[in-house]
Amino acid sequence: MIRARGLVQTFQTKVGKEKKEVRAVDGVDLDVAEGEVVGFLGPNGAGKTTTLRMLTTLLRPDAGTATVAGYDVVRESVQVRRSIGYVSQAGGVSSSARAGEEVMDHGMLYGLSRAQVEKRGKELFTQLQLDGLWERMPKNMSGGQKRRLDIVMGLIHDPTLVFLDEPTTGLDPQARANLWEHIARLRSERGATVFLTTHYLDEADALSDRIVIIDQGRIVASDTSDNLKAQVSGDLVTLEVAADHVTVAAEKLATVAQSVRTSGTQVSGRVARAGRVVPGLLRDVEAAGVALESIEVHRPTLDDVFLTLTGRSLRDAESEAGSESEVGPDSESAAQTTSADQAREDVSA
């Protein structure tokens, strides 16, 4: 469904008086098969949205090629647009228009007849639990309703490939969980291929068959969540012991674990297949006379994966991106200002 090779997007930015070129996307290769749900994960400013905008024909690549749904994004952009649905971060409905009217106009721009769009739109409203909101203005909807309306807009022409850009950003946990169900149904009920960007680890984990991780404009990994986590060498085992037993505990842990660290009364290390190793470890530790207060075993998270791959945790990468986004006219940072502006409007309204 998607095949991209060497995609590059460069932005000109000014740092002080100096002009600087920023490679927002720096040679991205991507392959997405039909029916696959792929999570595109990375910190803010990593190049997720920029890549997405190139794949959806909104941005012309500076270098590289991409075919989406069988068509070239530059030479056959109209055919690409016909085949895909795109739900941008900002949505796509005017807050003071009526929901149904926006859906109608959007569908008709795809060349559908009024009757076709109305039928399809009302079906989608039912499927996405928006019954009775056809006449409502988006400004009078909840965040979750508004987001589902955005998805209706993206699905109105029945695309086989759907792009979702940060679908649940800014939603409360309940609305998020609800939206996840709807996204999962895109494939199970419609057989659609889904490509979604997110900077939430749990979201990528919950929704995708495969996760593609991007950092600083480059793809750093692409695999299933489990395989990615397996790359992190083992589970994190943390022992809490009495203060004067820390050294002994660390020695014992080091016999089965890698990169053992001590912090206060806690000793931790990475253990491959911890479930099998820990019982033996416990006996060992006890035999050495160590008073064990507690033991914890953590399966690796995608955050660990990101740390292993890039040497930084996702949170650090986010704060770096935050300081960089002030100089970059990156669409991602622009979209952030957008939501900030909207938040301000909400307050004043």
**Binding residues vs other proteins (CB under 8 A):** 56-60, 78, 81-82, 84, 86, 88-97, 101, 105-106, 108-111, 150, 153, 329, 331, 334, 338, 341-342
Cβ closer to other proteins: 162 or 274? 162
| Minimum CB distance to other proteins, residue 115 (Å) | 15
| Minimum CB distance to other proteins, residue 135 (Å) | 13
| Minimum CB distance to other proteins, residue 194 (Å) | 16
Cβ closer to other proteins: 94 or 126? 94
Q: In DSSP terms, which residues pair with 21 in a beta bridge?
A: 12
Question: Which two tokens mark 202?
Answer: 């749990």
CA distance 329 to 331: 6
Cβ closer to other proteins: 95 or 313? 95
Cβ closer to other proteins: 57 or 208? 57
Element (H, E) at 322: helix 314-324
What order of strands is seen across the sheet that includes strand 210-215?
A: 84-87, 161-165, 193-198, 37-41, 210-215, 218-223
Distance of CA 167 to the CA centre of its chain: 8
Cβ closer to other proteins: 6 or 92? 92
Distance of CA 40 to the CA centre of its chain: 5
Question: Which two tokens mark 109?
Answer: 């721009």
| Minimum CB distance to other proteins, residue 26 (Å) | 17
Question: Which two tokens mark 45?
Answer: 């400013």
Cβ closer to other proteins: 52 or 317? 52
| Minimum CB distance to other proteins, residue 304 (Å) | 34
- In sequence order, which residues have a C-beta less than 8 Å from that of residue 8 and are 6 or more positions away? 23, 25, 26, 27, 28, 61, 62, 63, 64
- Cα Rg, the chain, nearest whole Å: 24
| Minimum CB distance to other proteins, residue 300 (Å) | 36
CA distance 102 to 150: 10
Give the count of beta carbons closer than 10 Å to the beta carbon of residue 132: 8
Phi, psi dihedrals of residue 62, rounded to the nearest 5°: -75, -30
| Minimum CB distance to other proteins, residue 327 (Å) | 16
Cβ closer to other proteins: 54 or 274? 54
Question: Which two tokens mark 95?
Answer: 């807050």
| Minimum CB distance to other proteins, residue 109 (Å) | 4
Cβ closer to other proteins: 108 or 292? 108
Q: Is the CA virtual torsion 266, 267, 271, 276 positive or negative?
A: negative
